[in-house]
A and B are shown apart, each in its own frame.
Chain A
């Protein structure tokens, strides 16, 4: 079989994986700083998808352009969620944190079904079926734009945490909670901002993913699980790890599905997860426990 066929599949997988990575970044940001696992991750992403869908239907706004709006809306949602609910369970055992966020997830799914119904909704952008021929490669335009947008948002996020005072403050909280308090940082506010930023990533990923996948309320659990796989493979709390994990999962799904049985694509992502857990449980770029 010509090599370009494999290359096409790999490129598509990498581009899709970038979007997975952006979605998982949100999960990683929240856990990395606040040490809370957001079990409503997939549901929040579906919120972002529905918001982008509504903007497309009402205003004809391309999901790529509504991405900042979805990110801002989810930022606000995440901030308020942390301030009103999550911070109350932050000191409680993890199973109670899980229950709270699982309950939030259930409310979001049911609300989505009440408002939008159970049917899948899609957006038909003008370039939905376009592709670029780059030498022997045929690259799906939508996937290319989605992957590029995901990379751009991830780069912004990295720059925020590296070069801005606020970003450094948040990293300080993650590195040393007591130390952050001692130097006078407003940790609860920073935690709320962090949750908001994580949610914004998820919302942005949702808007982008709408270009690739039709949205319906029951899409969420699959994406929550996928995000967990990505961050565990990449390293929980590691931002570059989340992006790398997404690319690895996207590429492995695509290649394994192509080389073996497509209907078992998802099984290969979990096989990668098992291998990582066995041989490098902290993830590819995560830090080992002291």
Chain B
């Protein structure tokens, strides 16, 4: 017969093991019950708040700031934002993601830049913390087989496809179609990537004009007079622009000075719709069209967002950055509500089942097996006296397109 230990029999028996396991399960389940019922979800919001992309990061954060009260009003569970600044650098983005997770972030949102977002996605996948991408167009991010990464933004290919289709819709609606075009693009990774997409996709979409002269310019250029002169010399009816806000201002100024009046300007990407462009150029900014990931101004959630931004940030227009960051938090809140748990796997499973129609962007929110939302689309947004009017797709429009654009001295 085995000798008893002093103080009683402490050997592990089936009975003692079962009792312990039951107790542990009760505690864990109870904790989960408590979390689901009241604890705010900790959301790491990672954006380039400083550095060269600071302006974009700040405008993204505006969308995040106004999101919490709107979501709460609609009965979504509470979120707690844990801001992180990538400083516009990839290596910092990685470090920030790690830090936020170590500090208790249960889900991540970010990060505007594709390079930085890719770095964060790797961390999220490794640490098994879900990441909801607000803005990042590089297709490869959702081609890695990640289980915890979800993107509610158009890929570069989707942006180009929408660009081609939307302008055809504008031409058809206005019954005026240009027959020639010239393309000016910033000569960096972003500009050349979009150009590559245009070259690949244009033949598939039966455009009314061939791809005309392509004029690349230095991203650090202080003066674009030669480039605009070259574009004007082609005699093209339409200017396509792939640029950033400073370039868009330089190009527009030169177009006015050189008295170049094409039928219109269609931009794919940032710059031509941004507040800095609108404020710097005033009425000269009117009638420029940007085909970019956008929001549907007619949706109820969009109207709430527009009102909130107008109240919190007077003089600021809602644009891509605010809209998509807001919607990322909507997605997070919706997933948390359905998961009823802050457990990473539960959240990830809930994200995979997402199907939101009461959102802000054009389309719905529904992720495919790779974590990509294929139903989200771009819009053609036209500048109109400091405001941005959606002119296509017509199903989401809140104004008629002005096409061709008005002469420079008649834009007021």
Selected A-B contacts with CB under 8 Å, 21 pairs: A1-B233, A8-B229, A9-B226, A9-B229, A120-B246, A122-B280, A129-B253, A131-B258, A140-B225, A142-B257, A143-B225, A214-B222, A219-B222, A257-B226, A258-B230, A262-B215, A262-B216, A262-B226, A263-B217, A265-B218, A266-B218
Interface SS of chain B: helix
CB contact list, B315-345 vs A, under 8 A: none
Q: Are A213 and B222 in contact (CB under 8 A)?
A: yes
Report chain A residues within 8 Å CB of B122. Answer: none
**C-alpha spacing A140/B259, complex, angstroms:** 10
A5-B229 CB under 8 A given contacts A131-B257, A212-B223: yes
Determine if B355 is an interface residue (Cβ-Cβ < 8 Å).
no
| A-B residue pairs, 7 tightest by C-beta | A257-B226, A263-B187, A262-B227, A263-B216, A213-B222, A129-B256, A5-B233
**C-alpha spacing A6/B26, complex, angstroms:** 83
Report the minimal beta-carbon distance from A6 to chain B, rounded to whole angstroms.
Answer: 9
**C-alpha spacing A5/B226, complex, angstroms:** 10
CB contact list, B214-268 vs A, under 8 A: 215-218, 220-223, 225-227, 229-230, 232-233, 246, 253, 256-259
Report chain A residues within 8 Å CB of B232. Answer: 5
Determine if A128 is an interface residue (Cβ-Cβ < 8 Å).
yes
Report the minimal beta-carbon distance from B138 to chain A, rounded to whole angstroms.
Answer: 23
CB contact list, A125-164 vs B, under 8 A: 128-131, 133, 138, 140-143
**C-alpha spacing A77/B61, complex, angstroms:** 43
Determine if A289 is an interface residue (Cβ-Cβ < 8 Å).
no
Q: Which residue of A lies closest to B228 (CB)?
A: A262
Determine if A254 is an interface residue (Cβ-Cβ < 8 Å).
yes
Report chain A residues within 8 Å CB of B229. Answer: 5, 8-9, 12, 258
Task: List 16 additional contacts besides A9-B226, A129-B257, A262-B230; criterion CB under 8 Å.
Answer: A1-B233, A12-B229, A129-B284, A131-B258, A131-B259, A138-B257, A138-B259, A213-B223, A214-B222, A214-B246, A258-B230, A258-B233, A261-B216, A263-B187, A265-B218, A265-B221
Determine if A16 is an interface residue (Cβ-Cβ < 8 Å).
yes
Q: Which residue of A lies closest to B215 (CB)?
A: A262
Most buried by A among B187, B221, B226, B253: B226
Report chain B residues within 8 Å CB of A124. Answer: 280
**C-alpha spacing A133/B280, complex, angstroms:** 25
Interface string of A210-228 (1 = CB under 8 A from B): 0011100001001000000
In-complex Cβ contact of A16 among B221, B223, B256, B284 (8 A) = B223
Report chain B residues within 8 Å CB of A122. Answer: 280
Q: Are A8 and B258 in contact (CB under 8 A)?
A: yes
Residues on B facing A (Cβ under 8 Å): 187, 215-218, 220-223, 225-227, 229-230, 232-233, 246, 253, 256-259, 280, 284
Q: Which residue of B lies closest to A267 (CB)?
A: B218
Q: Are A258 and B217 in contact (CB under 8 A)?
A: no
Q: Are A258 and B226 in contact (CB under 8 A)?
A: yes
Report the minimal beta-carbon distance from A252 to chain B, rounded to whole angstroms.
Answer: 11
**C-alpha spacing A258/B218, complex, angstroms:** 14
Q: Are A262 and B258 in contact (CB under 8 A)?
A: no
Report chain B residues within 8 Å CB of A265. Answer: 218, 221, 226
Q: Are A140 and B223 in contact (CB under 8 A)?
A: no
Q: Which residue of B lies closest to A262 (CB)?
A: B227
Report the minimal beta-carbon distance from A123 to chain B, rounded to whole angstroms.
Answer: 11
Most buried by A among B227, B229, B280: B229
Report chain B residues within 8 Å CB of A254. Answer: 225-226
**C-alpha spacing A13/B230, complex, angstroms:** 14
A138-B218 CB under 8 A given contacts A1-B233, A129-B253: no
In-complex Cβ contact of B217 among A5, A120, A262 (8 A) = A262
In-complex Cβ contact of B253 among A1, A16, A128, A266 (8 A) = A128
**C-alpha spacing A11/B206, complex, angstroms:** 41
Q: Which residue of B lies closest to A122 (CB)?
A: B280
Report the minimal beta-carbon distance from B348 to chain A, rounded to whole angstroms.
Answer: 39
**C-alpha spacing A262/B217, complex, angstroms:** 6
Q: Are A140 and B257 in contact (CB under 8 A)?
A: yes
Report the minimal beta-carbon distance from B271 to chain A, rounded to whole angstroms.
Answer: 14
**C-alpha spacing A261/B216, complex, angstroms:** 7
Report chain A residues within 8 Å CB of B220. Answer: 222
Report the minimal beta-carbon distance from A7 to chain B, rounded to whole angstroms.
Answer: 11
Report the minimal beta-carbon distance from B314 to chain A, rounded to whole angstroms.
Answer: 21
Report chain A residues within 8 Å CB of B216. Answer: 261-263
**C-alpha spacing A129/B228, complex, angstroms:** 14
Report the minimal beta-carbon distance from A48 to chain B, rounded to whole angstroms.
Answer: 16
**C-alpha spacing A263/B243, complex, angstroms:** 14
